[in-house]
Amino acid sequence: MDKKIVLNHYNGNANKQQQLEVKKSLRIARTSKERGLIQPQAKLSMPAEILLITSYPPRECGIATYSQDLIQALSNKFSQSLQLKVCALESGEDTFSYPEEVKYTLKTFLPDGYAKLANAINLDPDIQIVLIQHEFGFFASQQQAFLDFINQLTKPLVIVFHTVLPRPDASLKTAVQQIAASCASVIVMTHNSMGILTHDYDVSRDKISVIAHGTHLVSFVSRAVLKKKYALGNRKILTTFGLLSRGKSIETTIEALPQIVSRFPDALFLVIGKTHPEVVKNDGEEYRESLEEKVKAYGLENHVQFINKYLPLPELLEYLQLTDIYLFTTNDPNQAVSGTFAYAMSCGCPVISTPIPHAREVLTKDTGIIFDFGNSGQLAEKVVDLLDHKKLRVSIRNNALQAMTATAWENSAISHALQFEQLSQGKIILTYNRPAINLAHFKAMTTRTGIVQFAKNNLPDMRSGYTLDDNARALIASCMHYKLMDDAKSMANIHVYFSFIKRCILPSGHFLNYMDTEFRFTEQNYATNLEDANGRALWALGYFISMSKILPEEMVAEASMLFKQAMGKAEKIHSTRAMAFVIKGLCFYYKTFSEPDVLDLIKSLANRLERMYKHESEANWKWFESSLTYANSLLPEAMLYAWQVTNDPLYRNIALNSLDFLLSKTFNDEGIAVVSNRGWMLKGEKPNRFGEQPIDVAYTVMALSAFYEEFKNDSYRDKMNIAFNWFLGRNYLHQIIYNPVTGGCYDGLEEKNVNLNQGAESTVSYLMARLTVEQYADSARHIKKTLSIT
Tens digit of each residue's pLDDT (9 = 90 or more) over 526-550: 999 999 999 999 999 999 999 999 9
pLDDT-derived band of residue 92, with 50, 70 and 90 as boundaries? confident
What pLDDT does residue 780 have? Answer: 54
Choose among 191, 348, 222: nearest CA to 756. 348
Backbone φ and ψ for 275, nearest 5 degrees, come out as -70, 140
The string of pLDDT tens digits covering residues 261-308 is 999 999 999 999 999 888 988 899 999 999 999 999 999 999 999 999
DSSP 8-state symbol, 509:
S
Q: Of 281-290, 731-740, 775-784, where does the model show the most confidence?
A: 731-740
The string of pLDDT tens digits covering residues 55-64 is 999 998 889 9
Angle between helices 409-423 and 62-78 (to 10 degrees): 70
Cα 90 from Cα 84, distance rounded (Å):
19
CB-CB contact of 545 with 589 (8 Å): yes
3-state secondary structure of 770: helix
What pLDDT does residue 22 have? Answer: 31
Backbone φ and ψ for 381, nearest 5 degrees, come out as -60, -40
What pLDDT does residue 786 have? Answer: 39
Beta strands in 118-191 (DSSP E): 127-134, 157-161, 185-188
pLDDT-derived band of residue 38, with 50, 70 and 90 as boundaries? very low
Choose among 685, 62, 538, 643: nearest CA to 335. 62
**Residue 19 clears pLDDT 60, i.e. is over it:** no
If one compares 172 and 17, the residue with the highest pLDDT of the two is 172
User: Is residue 751 packed enough to be buried (19+ CB in 10 Å), middle (13-18) or exposed (0-12)?
Assistant: exposed
What pLDDT does residue 301 have? Answer: 96
CB-CB contact of 540 with 586 (8 Å): no
The lowest-confidence range among 174-183, 640-649, 777-786 is: 777-786
pLDDT-derived band of residue 562, with 50, 70 and 90 as boundaries? very high
pLDDT-derived band of residue 680, with 50, 70 and 90 as boundaries? very high
Beta strands in 2-126 (DSSP E): 48-54, 82-90, 102-107
- Mean residue pLDDT of the chain comes to 91
**Residue 453 clears pLDDT 80, i.e. is over it:** yes
CB-CB contact of 635 with 658 (8 Å): yes
3-state secondary structure of 328: strand
Cα 743 from Cα 478, distance rounded (Å):
15
CB-CB contact of 51 with 126 (8 Å): no
Cα 278 from Cα 355, distance rounded (Å):
25
User: Is residue 229 packed enough to be buried (19+ CB in 10 Å), middle (13-18) or exposed (0-12)?
Assistant: exposed
668: enclosing H helix or E strand: strand 667-668
**Residue 44 clears pLDDT 80, i.e. is over it:** no
Cα 53 from Cα 149, distance rounded (Å):
12
The lowest-confidence range among 84-98, 181-195, 290-304, 731-745 is: 84-98
CB-CB contact of 150 with 182 (8 Å): yes
| Contacting residues for 355 by C-beta, under 8 A, at least 6 apart | 333, 370, 371, 372, 373
For residue 205, the Cα-to-chain-centroid distance in whole angstroms is: 28
Torsion angle of alpha carbons 461, 364, 162, 338, nearest 10°? -60
CB-CB contact of 742 with 674 (8 Å): no
CB-CB contact of 695 with 765 (8 Å): yes
What pLDDT does residue 93 have? Answer: 76
User: Is residue 117 packed enough to be buried (19+ CB in 10 Å), middle (13-18) or exposed (0-12)?
Assistant: buried
CA-based R_g, the chain, Å: 30
Choose among 573, 583, 685, 700: nearest CA to 626. 685
Share of the chain above pLDDT 90, in %: 84
Cα 85 from Cα 44, distance rounded (Å):
20
What is the DSSP annotation of 60-93?
Answer: --HHHHHHHHHHHHHHHHHTTTEEEEEEEEE-SS
- The amino acid at residue 476 is I
Provide the CB-side half-sphere exposure for 504 (13 A, CA): 32
Could you give the C-alpha distances from 504 to 127, 213, 567, in angstroms and in order?
60, 48, 15
What is the DSSP annotation of 227-247?
Answer: HHHTT-TTPEEEEEESSB-GG
Cα 730 from Cα 414, distance rounded (Å):
9
What pLDDT does residue 334 have? Answer: 83
Cα 145 from Cα 113, distance rounded (Å):
9
In angstroms, how far apart are the furthest CA atoms of the chain?
A: 90
Beta strands in 273-324 (DSSP E): 304-307
* Interval 493-514 mean pLDDT: 97
The string of pLDDT tens digits covering residues 398-441 is 999 998 999 999 999 999 999 999 999 889 999 999 999 999 99
What pLDDT does residue 779 have? Answer: 60
What letters, b where the CB count within 10 A reaches 16 and e where it falls short, cover 40-65? bbbbbbbbbbbbbbbbbbebbbbbbb
Cα 542 from Cα 555, distance rounded (Å):
13
Cα 779 from Cα 771, distance rounded (Å):
15
